[in-house]
Amino acid sequence: MTEYLLIIVGTVWVNNFVLSQFLGLCPFMGVSRKLETAMGMGLATTFVLTLSSVTSYLVHSYLLVPLELEYLRTLSFILVIAAIVGFTEMAIRKASPVLYNVLGIYLPLITTNCAVLGVALLNVQESHDFIESALYGMGAALGFTLVMVLFAAIRERLAAADIPAPFQGNAIGLITAGLMALAFMGFSGLVKY
């Protein structure tokens, strides 16, 4: 039980995928201009990450390992992720057309979000079992959502702030992200994961 808790804490705070491992920076910079959008993106990614983490674990340990086809790992993981993203896209389009329009190209781009493939591959590398994989995926996604929401909230305030001309727009965004990463370094060394 403690171990599972540590996985969650580890992936959300200590080894946050965005701010410590620098995975998934594209939606982090791309859809963080508005709080609602960032939340929507966070939830969509949470769904995709958890599901793809579990599914790719199943594909790896029940299909690839018994057939000794581990070299197909990346290919089949991408296949799994693409299918899940396609499904998520349909579900969001049905449930919330506004969110669908706002997320736009970033929704299908979850497929190429390196955090998603990263989680699937790290699961294999760290030889997680089924529950650990699910928690690892969910923790990574929660961490992603957390920093997305924090960053979007900061950027909303930055939009109204008096920023010198050379720093306006993405420049101040990147500096903010860097400062956030520094702050998250305060968690480092707490847990192994």
Partner 1 sequence: MLGALLVVGGLALVFGVMLGFATIYYKVEGDPLADQVDKLLPQTQCGQCTFPGCRPYAEAIAKGEADINQCPPGGEETIKAIADLLGVEPKPLNEEHGEAQDLPLIARIDEQTCIGCTLCIQACPVDCIVGAAKHMHTIIESECTGCKLCLPPCPVDCIEMLPVRVEPGNWKWPYPSAKPIIAIAAAANDEGEEPMPVIRYEDAENNEDTAQREAAES
Sites of contact with partner 1 (CB under 8 A)? 34, 36-37, 59, 63-64, 67, 69, 72, 75-76, 79-80, 82-83, 86-87, 90-91, 93-94, 97-98, 100-102
Residues 6+ apart with CB under 8 A from 172: 158, 163
Query: Vertex 15, ends 132 and 64: CA angle to 5°?
Result: 40
Kindly tell me which of 1 and 67 has the beta carbon lying closer to partner 1.
67
Find out whether 156 and 34 touch, Cβ atoms under 8 Å: yes
Alpha-carbon gap, residue 35 to 112, rounded angstroms = 23
Alpha-carbon gap, residue 131 to 152, rounded angstroms = 31
Q: Give min distance, CB of 89 to partner 1, in A.
A: 9
Q: Give min distance, CB of 184 to partner 1, in A.
A: 28
Kindly tell me which of 38 and 49 has the beta carbon lying closer to partner 1.
38
Kindly tell me which of 36 and 129 has the beta carbon lying closer to partner 1.
36
